[in-house]
Structure 1
Amino acid sequence: MAFAAVSGLVFVAGQHLMREMKVQQRISVPIGKQEVAPGLLDGLNAVVLKYFNEKRFKVEGPTRSKLRQELLRAGFFHPEAISYYIFWRIGLVVGLPLLGYLIAMILLPEQSSLLKLGLVALLTVIAIFGPDAYIARRKRLLADEYATAFPDLLDLMVVCVDAGLGLEAGLDRISGEIIKKSYALGMNLLLMGAETRAGRSTIDALASFADRLGVDAARAFVGTLRQSIELGSDVGDALRVFSEEMRDKRLLRAEEQANKLPVKMVLPLGACIFPVILLVILFPVMVKLTTVFRAVH
């Protein structure tokens, strides 16, 4: 037991150190470089930027703005995220049906043509709708992550404002701490800081920040700060009240998820555990009945 306890402590400490090292590496990398893996070949990067560039495919105007907004909400902060999106869309639409055709010809040569056609059609549908479904799923996961991390952001902002820092200085100060809790939220804070340093007003940068996150908590946060700035009220008091409200909402959301667990456990219990229990109960009876029938015959 002592050996197991020591091993567990060492494992937990190692995982914590590895996570801290990864966070520090992410912070040290400039904005826009995090999405490209270190081992990615420069040739692939050059091919994507040359042949799948957004300008080459005429992705401009409102379409580009909307697509860029969706990718930012899904956590893709790379400057050339649209080009990579085009690359993967075209690659999947071409590659998956071709893969299905090769599988049908090589591995299923004796099957019916209808089955082969169905396989190719299924992979084609996945290739067409798969990227958008993946982005939508990432947006949902990030929305939950933002809702969980927002009370911590507000608490840090209250501390910074009470310590005498301004709104912009406080947001810059907490970016490094928030990125440890939520990488995507921290990156959005860094982008907002870059916008304000580039000359954009604080209110416009906050509005853009809320649009990138796309969650109600961010919109309410921006609305609270905007009212405080425009009316000249104390930002610290407004943040303190809003922070308490957000913590209450997070607690209610946790209680809601806990109350959903019994309903979610019905299917695993019915499909996995109940048949095993039924088999354990009935197996001796079945053995006894089999013995009795053999004795009779």
Structure 2
Amino acid sequence: MLLTYLCMIAWDSLQARLKINNVIGSSDQDQKKLKMLNSLVGAVSFNHIENKKKLISAGIYSDFIAKTYYLFKLVPLGLMLILIFIFYLSSTIDLMWAVVYSVFSVLIILIGPDAYISMRGKKITKRISGRLPFLLDLMNVCVHTGMTIESSLDYLSREISTVDENLGYVVYKTVERSKVVGIEKAIDEFHQMVPTSEAQSFAMTLKQSLQYGSSIGPVLSSLASDIREINIMDLEEKIGKLGAKMSIPLIVFIMIPIVVLIAAPGILRMISDA
């Protein structure tokens, strides 16, 4: 993890210096370094597009990590397995412990990052979905000032990043894609990046307004209120389940000690009388 972090910092600093040198000139040396680094990274890059989608859903937007994702998993795993094999040959550990350590290495190094990214992706997707009412209210204000849907998304993609980086990135990518494939296709891709029912309602509302030219301001306000009500209902449902979840700790940590305290004196008297 530390090596990945250091490599990512080096990659970002090289790209930043290259952009600065492109403005002030004399960037040939950095261009060669970046080209060489790209060739080295490209040689060990596997399934780059799919990795990038998973990392973006988890809030990790570095292209360097997407390209070297499998590299930073397979290299530590290979080193760990070689180390275990050396310890086994030197009779430091027996065969059973070598197998146990190998299985744990595979679980932690190979499967662990995927599980973490999947869990983090679900959490961020849920958080973005919960922040959609905030985006809808801001879009409603922009539309009432005379801005179009495209211009309001373009403006909010820059401003909303100060409040929520993940939501700002999703809106920014939607705006960038709209310049290439059109706004309707970009809205569909927004729903693909945030696969929730709230995002689907948001996408359908925007597409309906674009297709039929209907007034979108009141619809955005109504949709924001509906999503807030759904979030409140989900919170109330979690609070309702809290009582059932607390019953097991209540039995284990309170009821059982009380039973022991009540029964212990009688049991001690029976033992002493015997």
**Residue matched to 2:43:** 56
CA shift digits 1:138-184 (9 cap, x unpaired): 12111221221112211221122123222123223333554354321
Q: Which runs of 5+ in 1 are unaligned?
A: 1-35
1:202 aligned to which of 170, 174, 183: 183
| 2:105 maps to 1:127 | no
1:136 aligned to which of 94, 109, 118: 118
**Residue matched to 1:278:** 256
Give matches, 1:93-172, under 5 Å: 93-98=77-82, 109=92, 112-172=94-154
1:71 aligned to which of 31, 44, 55: 55
Inter-partner Cα distance in structure 2 for 1:99 and 1:149: 47
2:142 partner letter: C
**TM-superposed deviation, 1:231:** 0.8
**Residue matched to 1:22:** none
With 170-179 and 218-227 compared, the bigger mean Cα shift is at: 170-179
CA RMSD of the aligned region, Å? 3.6
TM-score by length of 1: 0.68
**Residue matched to 1:190:** 172
2:10 partner letter: D
SS in 2 for 1:164: coil
Give matches, 1:215-226, under 5 Å: 215-226=196-207
Q: Judging changes above 3 Å, is the alpha-carbon distance between structure 1 residues 177 and 266 closer, same or farther for their aligned structure 2 residues? A: farther
Q: Which runs of 5+ in 2 are unaligned?
A: 15-32
Q: Judging changes above 3 Å, is the alpha-carbon distance between structure 1 residues 158 and 50 closer, same or farther for their aligned structure 2 residues? A: closer
The structure whose residues are more often helix, as a share, is: 2
**TM-superposed deviation, 1:78:** 1.8
Q: How many residues align?
A: 251
**TM-superposed deviation, 1:93:** 2.6
**TM-superposed deviation, 1:293:** 4.7
TM-score by length of 2: 0.73
Q: Is the 8 A contact 2:52 2:63 kept in 1?
A: no
**Residue matched to 1:230:** 211
Inter-partner Cα distance in structure 1 for 2:86 and 2:197: 47
SS in 2 for 1:80: helix
Inter-partner Cα distance in structure 2 for 1:244 and 1:252: 12
Q: Matched residues, percent identical?
A: 21
Q: Is the 8 A contact 1:97 1:124 kept in 2?
A: no
**Residue matched to 1:19:** none
